[in-house]
Structure 1
Amino acid sequence: MTTYTARPVPPSALKELRSTDDSGRGMVPVTDDEGGAPLRCCLRRSVPGERIALVSYAPLRRWAAETGAEPGAYDEQGPVFIHAEECQGPEGDGYPFDNAHRTVRRYSAAGHILGGELVATLDDDAFRNAFDDPAVALVHVRAVEYGCFLYEVRRPA
Structure 2
Amino acid sequence: MTTTPSFRVRALSPEVPAAVRATGRDASGLPPHRSTAAGGEPLRCCLRDAATGEEIMLFGYAPPIPSGPYREVGPVFAHAGPCAGPAPGYPPAWRGRAQVLRAYDRRGWIHDARVHDGADPEAVIAELLADPAVRRLHSRNVAYGCFMFTVDRPG
What TM-score range do you get, normalising by the shorter chain?
0.7 to 0.9
Is the contact between residue 139 and residue 149 of structure 2 (CA under 8 Å) also seen in structure 1? yes
TM-score under structure 1 normalisation? 0.86
**Is it true that 1:55 corresponds to 2:52 in the alignment?**
no
Distance across 2 between alignment mates of 1:29 and 1:8: 20
- Calculate the TM-score normalised by the size of structure 2: 0.87
Query: How many Å separate the matches in 2 of 1:78 and 1:99?
Result: 24
Structure 1 unaligned segments of length 5 or more: list them. Answer: 65-70
One-letter code aligned to 2:60: S
Q: Which residue of 2 is the match for residue 118 of structure 1?
A: 115
Matched-pair identity in %: 37
1: CA distance between counterparts of 2:17 and 2:26? Answer: 9
Which stretch of the first structure deviates more once superposed, 21-30 or 116-125? 116-125
Distance apart, 1:156 and its partner CA: 2.0
Deviation at 1:6, TM superposition (A): 1.7
Deviations 1:114-147 (A, max 9, x none): 0211112343211110111101001000011100
- 1:92 CA displacement: 4.8
Deviations 1:58-81 (A, max 9, x none): 013xx43xxxxxx41101110000
Q: Does 1:90 align with 2:86?
A: yes
User: For residues 41 and 19 of structure 2, what CA distance do their matches in structure 1 show?
Assistant: 21
Contact 1:95 1:123 survives alignment (8 Å): no
SS in structure 1 of the partner of residue 15 of structure 2: helix
- Alpha-carbon offset, residue 2 of structure 1: 4.8
Contact 1:29 1:51 in 2 (8 A): yes
Letter in 2 for 1:31: T
Structure 1 residue 94: Cα displacement: 3.0
Letter aligned with residue 76 of structure 2: V
Shift of 1:23: 1.0
Alignment coverage as a number of residue pairs: 148
Matched, 1:31 2:27: no
Aligned to 1:155: 153
In structure 2, list runs of 5 or more residues that go unmatched. Answer: none
Structure 2 partner of 1:68: none
Is 1:8 aligned to residue 11 of structure 2?
yes
1:99 partnered with 2:103: no
Aligned-residue offset at 1:110: 1.2
Runs of 4+ aligned structure 1 residues displaced above 6 Å come to none
CA distance in 2, matches of 1:125, 1:14: 31
Is the deviation greater in 12-21 or in 135-144? 12-21
Q: Deviations over 1:5-48 (max 9, x none)?
A: 2210001222122231111111231111x211000001011011
